[in-house]
């Protein structure tokens, strides 16, 4: 949108066949004229964990700022924005087991202090005066968890998530992904889309002779919930020459038994369709 408005040049870094951003391709895209490097921390469509440290290093050398989309990363292990050294970090509430319609944009204090709001008015206002206009509290930014008595605008979901053993949760999710990846290799005609060396617990796949949406419907009828389609990542699908994928996502609350149930249901669906 900014490119359309003021002529900003938008450069797209390609991914390799495994769904990875390669350092050489990133380096080729960043020049002294680069002002902002905007990347996904983790690909929602492929699960690839992008090389944030390398991106930040190259951006700093060029004098550019870094914005990370952390929607898919924030719930898969702890995110430390200071360690990442990104300038901005954005994520949505529902990816962190909270309500829909709300999100967070983190920015370094000195940058936010230098950036006046670009837009105001409309539904964001509770009261208007010349002295102190105020915003209204929306239902989506309030939540309650039994462990916390008071309401908190930061959201009960975030507090709950931070109360977990995040390192243990991440290790468990990685074990689930390894389990699922091994089982996927045993399914006739199954092709994984996105085989990066570093992945979050996301497994996107296709099965020869079937449509992802048909798989989703048949799995749903067996009590298995997956996502199907282009996952709002149509350029990624175009890169791999496919209309979409079936995507299974695993979290700390899933179990190895559920992985086996998933593949039993998938086998049944495959036999019905092929």
Q: What is the CATH number of the domain that holds 80?
A: 3.40.640.10
Decide if 232 is catalytic.
Answer: yes
Share of the chain above pLDDT 70, in %: 87
User: What span, in angstroms and rounded, lies between the C-alpha atoms of 39 and 45?
Assistant: 14
Q: Is residue 88 part of a domain?
A: yes
Check whether residue 8 and residue 109 sit in a common domain.
yes
Check whether residue 183 and residue 68 sit in a common domain.
no
Considering 108, 133, 162, which residue would you say is the last residue of a domain?
162
Check whether residue 186 and residue 158 sit in a common domain.
no
Check whether residue 11 and residue 39 sit in a common domain.
yes
Residue-range definition of the domain harbouring residue 253: 166-273
Q: Which of 24, 113, 132, 232 is flagged as catalytic? A: 232
- pLDDT at position 147: 47
Check whether residue 196 and residue 156 sit in a common domain.
no
Check whether residue 172 and residue 103 sit in a common domain.
no
Question: 227 is written with which tokens?
Answer: 């996502």
Least confident of 112-116, 133-137, 149-153, 214-218: 149-153
**Mean pLDDT along residues 232-243:** 92
Check whether residue 69 and residue 204 sit in a common domain.
no
Give yes or no for residue 155 having a pLDDT over 80: no
Q: Is residue 181 part of a domain?
A: yes
- Mean pLDDT over the full length of the chain: 88
Check whether residue 158 and residue 215 sit in a common domain.
no
- pLDDT at position 1: 82
Name the burial class of residue 137, with classes exposed (0-12), middle (13-18) and buried (19+) by CB atoms within 10 angstroms of its CB. exposed
Check whether residue 31 and residue 155 sit in a common domain.
yes
**Mean pLDDT along residues 109-130:** 72
Give yes or no for residue 59 having a pLDDT over 60: yes
Q: What is the pLDDT of residues 71-93, one digit of tens each?
A: 999 988 778 999 999 999 999 88
Q: Is residue 38 part of a domain?
A: yes
Considering 97, 130, 162, which residue would you say is the last residue of a domain?
162
Share of the chain above pLDDT 90, in %: 70
Q: What is the pLDDT of residues 191-223, one digit of tens each?
A: 999 999 999 999 999 999 999 999 999 999 999
Provide the pLDDT confidence category of residue 125 given band limits of 50, 70 and 90.
low
Check whether residue 201 and residue 155 sit in a common domain.
no
Considering 135, 162, 189, which residue would you say is the last residue of a domain?
162
Q: What is the pLDDT of residues 14-47, one digit of tens each?
A: 999 999 999 899 999 999 999 999 999 999 999 9
Q: Is residue 139 part of a domain?
A: no
User: What span, in angstroms and rounded, lies between the C-alpha atoms of 231 and 153?
Assistant: 29
**Mean pLDDT along residues 116-131:** 61
- pLDDT at position 122: 58
Q: Is residue 223 part of a domain?
A: yes
**Mean pLDDT along residues 244-267:** 97
Provide the pLDDT confidence category of residue 101 given band limits of 50, 70 and 90.
confident
Check whether residue 155 and residue 62 sit in a common domain.
yes
Check whether residue 218 and residue 255 sit in a common domain.
yes
Q: Is residue 100 part of a domain?
A: yes
């Amino acid at each position: 949108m900014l490119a359309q408005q003021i002529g900003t040049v938008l450069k797209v870094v390609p991914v390799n066949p495994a769904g990875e951003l390669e350092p050489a391709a990133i380096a080729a895209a960043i020049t002294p004229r680069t002002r902002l490097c905007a990347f996904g921390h983790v690909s929602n469509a492929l699960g690839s964990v992008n090389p944030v440290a390398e991106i930040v290093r190259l951006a700093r050398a060029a004098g550019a700022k870094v914005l990370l989309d952390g929607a898919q990363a924030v719930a898969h292990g702890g995110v430390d924005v200071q360690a990442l050294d990104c300038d901005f970090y954005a994520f949505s509430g529902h990816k962190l087991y909270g309500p829909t319609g709300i999100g967070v944009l983190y920015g370094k204090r000195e940058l936010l202090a230098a950036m006046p709001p670009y837009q105001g008015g409309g539904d964001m206002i509770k009261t208007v005066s010349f002295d102190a206009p105020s915003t209204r509290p929306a239902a989506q930014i309030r939540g309650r968890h039994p462990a916390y008595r008071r309401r908190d605008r930061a959201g009960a979901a975030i507090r709950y998530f931070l109360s977990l053993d995040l390192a243990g949760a991440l290790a468990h999710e990685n074990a689930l992904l390894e389990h699922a990846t091994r089982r996927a290799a045993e399914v006739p005609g199954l092709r994984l889309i996105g085989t990066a060396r570093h992945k979050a617990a996301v497994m996107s796949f296709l099965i020869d002779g079937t449509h992802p949406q048909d798989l989703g419907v048949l799995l749903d009828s067996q009590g298995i919930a997956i996502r199907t389609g282009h996952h709002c990542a149509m350029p990624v699908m175009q890169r791999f020459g496919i209309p979409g994928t079936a995507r299974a996502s695993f979290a700390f609350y899933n179990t190895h038994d559920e992985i086996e149930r998933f593949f039993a249901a998938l086998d049944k669906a495959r036999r019905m369709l092929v």
